Amino acid sequence: MAKALDLEELTRLYELMMTIEHRMKEIGEDFSYEKQVLENRLEHLRKPLLGELSPWEKVMIARHQKRPTALDLIPHLFDDYTEMHGDRYFGDDPAISGGIAWFGDEPVTVIAQQKGRNTKENIKRNFGMPNPEGYRKSLRLMKQAEKFGRTVICFVDTPGAYPGVGAEERGQAFAIANNLLEMSWLRVPIITIVIGEGGSGGALALGIGDRVYMLEHAIYSVISPDGAAALLWKDASLAEKAAELLKITAQDLFQYQIIDGIIPEPGVGAHFSLTDTAKQIRQHLSLAIAELHSCEIAELIEQRYEKFMKMVRFTESEQTIASSAKPSILV
């Protein structure tokens, strides 16, 4: 069984480490014995705390109840966030919050997948798993942004698009596909930040960005590690192994050039300091917006296209293996 990560304990130890570090600065040269003892302790703490987290530990952090959600971050990033509701076809999906806000002196469109922060809220927000109307609301707000020349900023945090009867009846696949196509050619800059879980097509439906960032311990995957383990080995408890194989960490995806940057998290994760996390996101947003604004829109769309077209891996051979050229006549 994959081991659970005790985030509270991790946080407590991290605070202890900070205290020791602080204490060491106060100690003069004369107290070298005490200093050595503290240094020893520090070494023991540092490794598990600041050494690399395993992919599975990152999954636990990304999914943790205490992790800041988009609606926690938004007040620290924007002013006057004004939420807009509904897809104008069917309903309003609480798993996605969207609206207009000020980023500095510029109005932007914000679209955010939103998990609940407690059980009651999670039921309302369907654990951050959008229905088609959530994706259609997102697209409506993106088209609105396009009309008024607003930059679109998306926050991704979802286990995936909701696998439910109603979702299928209302065309989940069609809603996601449409978002992918429309985002590809949207005539305003798009910035996407994966702040927690980036679950499959349900995440990508907000993920066709000119800049795509991930928080340091966020994950982004074609299938959840649990789901992959169940499919591959008929055993969900092998999720830890699947998490490693699937290459879902920000560090892996940056190396593959799937994302454009990693936003550092404070201490042992974003939950450690909401304001520090927001500050880091704000810096990245400022920089990205400045860069994207200096670009002609036609050029921007061309670059968006070129960037995504590179996200493929195959080998091309002159020779063909199979005799696929000549289909056998059947009837």
Partner 1 sequence: MKPGRDQGIYCPDCDGRVDREKLYHDWKMCPFCQYHFPLTADERLALTLDRDSFRPIAEGLLTEDCLQFPEYLDKIEQDRRKTNLQEAVLAGVGNIGGHEVVMAAMDTRFRMGSMGSVVGETIVRAIRYAHDTRLPLIVFSASGGARMQEGIFSLMQMGRTAMELGKFHRAGGLYISVLTHPTTGGVTASFAALGDIIIAEPRALIGFAGPRVIQQTIRQQLPEGFQRAEFLQDKGFLDLIVSRPALRETLLKLLNFHKGVRAIG
Piece of the chain touching partner 1 by CB under 8 A; list 4-12, 40-48, 79-87, 305-313: 305-313
- Cβ atoms of residues 280 and 251 within 8 Å: no
Q: Is 309 exposed, middle or buried (0-12, 13-18, 19+ CB in 10 A)?
A: exposed
The residue among 235, 208, 224 whose CA lies nearest residue 59 is 224
Residue 148 per-residue DSSP state: T
Q: 1 or 322, CB closer to partner 1?
A: 322
- Cβ atoms of residues 61 and 5 within 8 Å: yes
Site string for partner 1, 50-89 (x = CB under 8 A): ----------------------------------------
Does residue number 234 form part of the binding site for partner 1 (CB under 8 A)?
Answer: no
Written as one letter, the residue type at 315 is: T
Does residue number 172 form part of the binding site for partner 1 (CB under 8 A)?
Answer: yes
Q: Is 328 exposed, middle or buried (0-12, 13-18, 19+ CB in 10 A)?
A: exposed
How many residues belong to the site for partner 1 (CB under 8 A)?
Answer: 65
The Cα 310–Cα 288 span in angstroms is: 21
User: In angstroms, what is the minimal distance from the CB of 59 to partner 1?
Assistant: 14
Piece of the chain touching partner 1 by CB under 8 A; list 49-57, 90-98, 196-204, 271-279: 196-204
Among 180, 274, 295, 297, binds partner 1 (CB under 8 A): 180
User: In angstroms, what is the minimal distance from the CB of 111 to partner 1?
Assistant: 17
Q: 94 or 227, CB closer to partner 1?
A: 227
Does residue number 308 form part of the binding site for partner 1 (CB under 8 A)?
Answer: yes
Does residue number 232 form part of the binding site for partner 1 (CB under 8 A)?
Answer: yes
Does residue number 312 form part of the binding site for partner 1 (CB under 8 A)?
Answer: yes
| Residue 226 phi, psi dihedral angles, 5° rounding | -65, -45
Question: How do strand 211-215 and strand 151-158 relate by DSSP bridges?
Answer: unpaired
Question: How do strand 79-84 and strand 96-103 relate by DSSP bridges?
Answer: antiparallel
Q: Which residues bind partner 1 (CB under 8 A)?
A: 161-165, 167-174, 176-178, 180-182, 184-185, 200-201, 204-205, 207-208, 220-223, 228, 231-232, 245-248, 253, 256, 258, 305, 308-309, 311-331
